[in-house]
């Protein structure tokens, strides 16, 4: 690509390095209900270096089901899977009653990052990065922006 005096490809590579996007990450989804399935079906992760390698749940109706070619495993098999597959990131879409214990176990097993969609803010030991996602906060922010924009345009 051509820019104005800049090597755009080089800049893109350097920004990717800074953001940690110049490498691949193996991910699992823990909690394969509606939100977990939606995230598991999102195929753009792989284009950015995030490869979904495992799905886990406690619900017997979901265990054994296949999503994008991956079987949903019982959560009891997660420790061995994480260790054997060098999983980097776990996406948590669990009820708040279970998420703290699951997160602590994942940290013990070597997970480097948690993308947490539960209703509980997680704080884990140093070396495990947590991104707590608050869907309702994001929606409230959107509502505020709409209201603010409407008031500005009156």
Fold of the domain spanning 24-152: Rossmann fold (3.40.50)
Mean pLDDT for the chain? 87
Give the residue extent of every domain in the chain. Answer: 24-152
Model confidence over 93-151: pLDDT tens digits?
A: 999 899 999 999 999 999 999 999 998 999 888 889 999 998 888 888 888 889 888 88
Question: Scanning the structure block, which residue is given the tokens 């776990």?
Answer: 90
> Distance of CA 142 to CAs 35, 74, 135, 138, Å?
20, 37, 11, 6
Model confidence over 30-40: pLDDT tens digits?
A: 999 999 999 99
d(CA 55, CA 67): 8
d(CA 40, CA 26): 13
Q: What is the pTM of this model?
A: 0.81
Residue 10: pLDDT band with limits 50, 70, 90: low
């Amino acid at each position: 690509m051509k820019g104005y005096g800049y090597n755009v490809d080089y800049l893109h590579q350097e920004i990717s390095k800074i953001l940690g996007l110049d490498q691949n990450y193996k991910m699992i989804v823990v909690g394969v209900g509606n939100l977990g399935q939606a995230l598991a079906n999102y195929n753009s992760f792989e284009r950015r270096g995030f490869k979904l390698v495992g799905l886990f749940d406690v619900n017997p109706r979901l265990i054994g089901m296949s999503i994008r070619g991956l079987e949903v495993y019982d959560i009891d098999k997660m420790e061995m899977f994480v260790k054997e597959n060098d999983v980097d990131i776990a996406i948590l879409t669990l009820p708040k009653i279970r998420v703290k214990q699951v997160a602590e176990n994942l940290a013990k097993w070597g997970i480097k990052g948690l993308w947490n969609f539960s209703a509980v803010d997680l704080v884990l030991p140093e070396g495990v990065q947590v991104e707590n996602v608050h869907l309702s906060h994001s929606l409230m922010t959107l509502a505020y922006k709409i209201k603010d924009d409407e008031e500005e345009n009156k």
